[in-house]
Amino acid sequence: MDDKILRMKELISVLSKAGRAYYQESREIMSNFEYDKLYDELLALEKETGVLLSGSPTQKVGYEVLSELPKETHEAPMLSLDKTKSVEALAEWLGSQKGLLSWKLDGLTIVLTYEHGSLVKAVTRGNGEIGEVITPNAKVFANIPLTIGYQGLLVLRGEAVIKYSDFARINEEIEDVDAKYKNPRNLCSGSVRQLNSQITAQRNVNFKAFMLVKADGVDFKNSREAQFEWLKTQGFEVVEYRRVTAETMAEEVQHFAEAIGDYDIPSDGLVLLMDDIAYGESLGRTAKFPRNSIAFKWADEIRETKLSYIEWSPSRTGLINPVAVFEPVELEGTTVSRASVHNISIMEALELGEGDVITVYKANMIIPQIADNLTRSGSVQIPKICPVCGGAAEIRQVEEVRSLYCTNPECQAKKIKSFTLFVSRDALNVDGLSEATLEKFIGAGFIHEFADIFHLADHQEAIVAMEGFGQKSYDNLMISLKKASHTTLARLIYGLGIAGIGLANAKVLCRKFKFDFESMRHASYEDLIETDGIGDVLAKAWMEYFQNEKNNVQVDRLLAELDIEKEVEVPEEEAVFAGKTFVITGSLEHFSNRKELQELIESKGGKAASAVSAKTSYLINNDTASNSSKNKKAKELGIPILSETDFLELLERMTGQEA
Catalytic residue ranges? 104
10 Å CB burial of residue 384 (0-12, 13-18, 19+) is exposed
* Spatial distance between the Cα atoms of 241 and 263, rounded to a whole number of angstroms: 13
* Spatial distance between the Cα atoms of 143 and 146, rounded to a whole number of angstroms: 9
Q: 290: which DSSP letter?
A: B
10 Å CB burial of residue 62 (0-12, 13-18, 19+) is exposed
- Please list, in sequence order, all residues whose beta carbon lies within 8 angstroms of the beta carbon of residue 17, skipping any fewer than 6 positions away: 29, 635, 636, 637, 638
**Bridge-based pairing state of the strands 581-584 and 618-620:** parallel
Q: 368: which DSSP letter?
A: E
Sign of CA dihedral 5, 10, 15, 21: positive
- Please list, in sequence order, all residues whose beta carbon lies within 8 angstroms of the beta carbon of residue 276, skipping any fewer than 6 positions away: 97, 98, 222, 223, 224
- Please list, in sequence order, all residues whose beta carbon lies within 8 angstroms of the beta carbon of residue 53, skipping any fewer than 6 positions away: 5, 8, 9, 12, 143, 144, 145, 146, 235
- Of the chain, the end-to-end C-alpha distance in Å amounts to 55
Max CA-CA distance within the chain? Answer: 84
* Spatial distance between the Cα atoms of 562 and 11, rounded to a whole number of angstroms: 57
Cβ proximity of 245 and 99 under 8 Å: yes
* Spatial distance between the Cα atoms of 493 and 499, rounded to a whole number of angstroms: 11
* Spatial distance between the Cα atoms of 373 and 429, rounded to a whole number of angstroms: 43
The 3-class secondary structure across 375-429, one letter per residue, is: CCCCCCCCCCECCCCCCEEEEEEECCEEEEEECCCCCHHHHHHHHHHHCCCCCCC
Nearest residue to 606 (alpha-carbon basis) of 631, 574, 649, 568: 574
What is the 3-state composition of the chain as percent helix, strand, coil, each rounded to the nearest 5?
40, 25, 40
- SS3 of 123, please? strand
